[in-house]
């Protein structure tokens, strides 16, 4: 992996880690705020329940004391009473709220403040924050929570609206409030320093955890990257060694091939020379054996006559074999230069040479001439190829039916496949390979004429042209010989269009 990509991945990971830390911190803050909101709401609810209890009684009476002076803002008929010589004064919900707030405030923790936009008691007038909340309650009655101040002065300020209920109207109907109106609100102020400190502590712990995870994972990534790089280097090195090896082996193979080619052609030259030079002494042996036969026929004993006959026959066969071998060698040694050759014309040549036998055997030929290509090769040899295959198709005919031979070609990628099919006696699959070898025959001389050289020559011709030959057959039904020839290269094709001759 290139360094740039790895750096990008590392950057992406850093971004993910930072985002995670940030969202954790935000979530934590949100949780603490939700807790503060719940706490404020509970305290507010408790206060409201107490006030409702008081309002349901239409206010309660408590002895007048220094902390419970008659409320000058309470304008009701029986605000002050005397009972058993004890001075009592009415404590309505608002006065009670104020008194509870004072107790709470004096303890220096949570503070309550009952307030309204139209306060009866001026001290109940809202501060700036409360005014903002009261104004907001006119359209949306959702309770408010906000953190104000910092450090030791930090506070959570909660405020919820006071809604006019039936029991409130006793005192507040005169202010033209109706049932369900927002009459004011109670703000609950809670110290937030300890909560903020907790948030800070948690944030710190979370940051430490993130940093540790970041360092460990980043370290692992770097480690993995370095190991991968080392691995890639080893692979590259191995690939290079293998490439060198392949190059070396290819070179060796090419050299071996060239050597093989050289020795092959030497061998062919040798075979040609030997078979050519053998002809002369063999001709001498054959003629003298024939002379012996003619001169001493019936003059010696019967065995001598038979022996002379065998010797003469053997010499003749050997002469034929040498001729065939020479023929086989000549495919390589005595060939015409390659040129563009129209295969339908070579077929016609072959059919012309076989004319007599085709007529005698009433053979029918079905050639798809349009499919036959123009190839690059030796015209004489390619015509011989057709001649051998068609000749065999006639020779190995089924006695029960007239030979029918079809010839066609098809293109497959860079090669033409030409097929010669007959309806003859067929060949057993186990002989498919063998029949292409020199002097290999499946029948005795008495059954079918021949020396087993025809298909070997076909194979040699096809291979010389860069193709291959094979057979498939169903014994008793017929045989198909297929051979391939390379498709004519572009340049040669143009040449052919101008000058292709039969
Ligand atoms: P030859 O025909 O002289 O024996 P070939 O090399 O031409 O030699 O053929 C080798 C053997 O392959 C033949 O002996 C024959 O058994 C078999 N063969 C060749 N062509 C056919 C064919 N078309 N149908 C059946 N058998 C065949």
- What is the full per-residue pLDDT of the chain (502 aa) written as tens digits? 678 888 999 899 999 999 999 999 999 888 888 999 999 999 999 988 998 899 888 889 999 998 899 988 888 888 999 988 899 999 988 889 889 888 888 887 788 888 988 887 888 899 999 999 999 998 898 998 998 888 888 899 999 998 887 767 766 666 777 788 888 899 999 988 888 888 889 889 999 999 999 999 999 999 999 999 999 999 999 999 999 999 999 999 999 999 888 877 777 777 777 777 888 888 899 899 889 888 888 888 888 889 988 998 888 888 888 888 888 888 877 788 899 999 999 999 999 999 999 999 999 999 999 999 999 999 999 999 999 999 999 999 999 999 999 999 999 989 999 999 999 999 999 999 999 998 888 887 778 888 899 999 999 999 999 999 999 999 999 999 999 999 987 766 666 554 444 4
The binding-site residues of ligand 1, defined as CB within 6 angstroms of any ligand atom, are: 392-393, 396, 422, 424-427, 435, 441-443, 450-456, 479
pLDDT at 500: 46
Note the pLDDT of residue 501.
Answer: 43
Ligand 1 atom, smallest distance to 478 CA? 24
pLDDT of residue 239: 95
Establish if 352 belongs to a structural domain: yes
3-state secondary structure of 451: coil
In a domain, 325, yes or no: no
Tell me what pLDDT residue 2 has: 77
Mutation to probe ligand 1, out of 323, 363, 435, 461 (largest number of atoms < 8 A from CB) = 435
What is the Å distance from ligand 1's center to 391 Cα? 9
Going from the Cα of 435 to the center of ligand 1, the distance in angstroms, rounded, reads 7
Instruction: Give the domain-ending residue among 191, 219, 254.
Output: 191
User: What is the CB-side half-sphere exposure of residue 419 using CA atoms within 13 A?
Assistant: 16
Residue 428 maps to a domain? yes
Structural domain including 430 reads 335-500
Nearest to 75 by CA among 167, 170, 180: 170
Q: Is residue 141 part of a domain?
A: yes
Residue 349 lies in a domain: yes
| Domain end call among 168, 191, 214 | 191
Tell whether 451 is covered by a domain: yes
Does 175 fall in a domain? yes
DSSP per residue over 283-348, as a string?
Answer: HHHHHHHHHHHHHHTTTS-HHHHHHHHHHHHHHHHHHHHHHHHHHHHHHHHS-PPPEEEEHHHHHH
Cα(49)–Cα(359) distance, integer angstroms: 128
Among 390, 423, 427, residue to substitute to test ligand 1 (most atoms within 8 Å of Cβ): 427
Pairing of the two strands 404-412 and 364-367: parallel
Write down the pTM of the prediction.
0.53
374, 341 contact by CB (below 8 A): yes
Ligand 1 centroid from CA 264, angstroms = 26
Going by their DSSP bridges, the two strands 374-377 and 339-342 should be labelled as antiparallel
Which pLDDT belongs to residue 275? 75
- What's the 495 CA to ligand 1 centre distance in angstroms? 37
Alpha helices in 57-92 (DSSP H): none
CA distance 196 to 447: 115
Identify whether 296 is part of a domain: no
Q: Whose CA is nearest to atom 1 of ligand 1?
A: 452
Question: Which residue lies with its CA nearest to atom 20 of ligand 1?
Answer: 392
Tell me if residue 166 falls in helix, strand or coil: helix
Residue 502: predicted pLDDT: 41
Based on the structure, what is the number of domains in the chain?
Answer: 2
How confident is the model at residue 105, as a pLDDT? 81
Of 158, 175, 191, which residue is a domain's last? Answer: 191
How far away, in angstroms, is 310 Cα from ligand 1 center? 26
């Amino acid at each position: 992996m290139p360094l740039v990509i790895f750096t990008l991945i590392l950057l992406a990971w850093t971004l993910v880690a930072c985002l995670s830390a940030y969202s954790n911190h935000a979530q934590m803050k949100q949780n603490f705020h939700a807790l503060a909101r719940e706490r404020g709401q509970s305290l507010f609810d408790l206060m409201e329940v107490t006030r409702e209890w008081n309002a349901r009684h239409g206010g309660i009476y408590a002895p007048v004391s220094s902390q419970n002076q008659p409320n000058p803002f309470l304008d009701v008929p029986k605000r002050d009473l005397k009972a058993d010589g004890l001075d009592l004064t009415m404590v309505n919900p608002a006065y009670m709220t104020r008194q509870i707030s004072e107790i709470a405030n004096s303890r220096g923790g949570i503070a309550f403040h009952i307030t309204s936009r139209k306060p009866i008691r001026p001290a109940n007038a809202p501060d700036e924050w409360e005014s903002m909340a009261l104004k907001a309650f006119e359209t949306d009655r959702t309770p408010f929570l906000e953190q104000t101040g910092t450090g030791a002065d930090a506070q959570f300020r909660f405020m919820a609206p006071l809604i006019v209920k039936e029991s409130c109207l006793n005192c507040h109907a005169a202010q033209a409030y109706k049932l369900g109106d927002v009459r004011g609100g109670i703000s609950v102020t809670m110290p937030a320093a300890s909560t903020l400190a907790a948030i800070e502590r948690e944030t710190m712990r979370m940051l430490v955890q993130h940093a540790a995870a970041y360092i460990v994972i980043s370290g692992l990534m770097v480690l993995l990257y370095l190991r991968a790089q080392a691995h890639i280097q080893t692979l590259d090195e191995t690939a290079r060694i293998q490439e060198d090896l392949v190059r070396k082996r290819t070179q060796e193979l090419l050299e071996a091939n060239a050597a093989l080619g050289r020795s092959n052609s030497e061998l062919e030259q040798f075979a040609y020379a030997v078979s050519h030079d053998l002809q002369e002494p063999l001709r001498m042996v054959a003629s003298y054996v024939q002379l012996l036969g003619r001169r001493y026929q019936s003059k010696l004993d019967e065995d001598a006559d038979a022996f002379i006959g065998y010797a003469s026959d053997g010499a003749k066969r050997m002469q034929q074999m040498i001729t065939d071998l020479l023929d086989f060698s000549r495919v390589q040694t005595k060939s015409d230069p390659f040129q563009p050759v129209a295969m339908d014309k070579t077929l016609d040549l072959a059919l012309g040479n076989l004319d007599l036998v085709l007529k005698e055997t009433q053979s029918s030929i079905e050639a798809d001439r349009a499919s036959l290509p123009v190839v690059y090769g030796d015209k004489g040899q390619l015509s011989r190829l057709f001649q051998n295959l068609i000749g065999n198709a006639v020779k190995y005919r089924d006695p029960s039916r007239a030979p029918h031979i079809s010839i066609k070609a098809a293109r497959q990628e860079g090669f033409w496949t030409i097929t010669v099919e007959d309806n003859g006696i067929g060949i057993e699959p186990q002989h498919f390979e063998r029949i292409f070898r020199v002097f290999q025959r499946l029948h005795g001389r008495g059954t079918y004429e021949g020396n087993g050289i025809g298909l070997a020559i076909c194979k040699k011709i096809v291979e010389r042209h860069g193709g291959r030959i094979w057979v498939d057959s169903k014994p008793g039904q017929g045989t198909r010989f297929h051979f391939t020839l390379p498709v004519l290269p572009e340049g040669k094709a143009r040449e052919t269009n101008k000058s292709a001759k039969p």
